[in-house]
Amino acid sequence: MTNWKVGALINGAIEAVTGPAAQDRPGAHEWMVWQGTAADKAEALQCAEKADPRVDLEWMRIRYERDLNNR
């Protein structure tokens, strides 16, 4: 399990990051959707969908298809 941060940018993009990339998140032009431990990016994105109804997993499936189809 790894600590993940899922943030939404002002342009509507959803981003899941971990490690050093997550250190200074959220930035000035984003808000935190979900933060916690998950096994991988797909699980982090699914947790974000449950935490915030503005996160649309179907839209993310198109954007992160390889990650989400591995489940």
Q: Which residue has the tokens 């899941």?
A: 16
Q: How confident is the model at residue 30 (pLDDT cuts 50, 70, 90)?
A: confident
pTM summary value: 0.70
Residues 43, 13, 39: CA angle, nearest 5 degrees: 15
Q: Tell me what pLDDT residue 26 has.
A: 83
Residue 68 pLDDT exceeds 80: no
What's the pLDDT score for residue 46?
86
> Over the range 13-51, which residues count as b (16 or more CB within 10 Å of their CB) and which as e?
ebbbebeeebeeebeeebeebbbeebebbbbbbbbbbee
Q: What is the pLDDT of residue 35?
A: 94
- Please give the C-alpha separations between residue 53 and each of 2, 48, 57, 66, in angstroms, as whole numbers: 23, 9, 10, 22
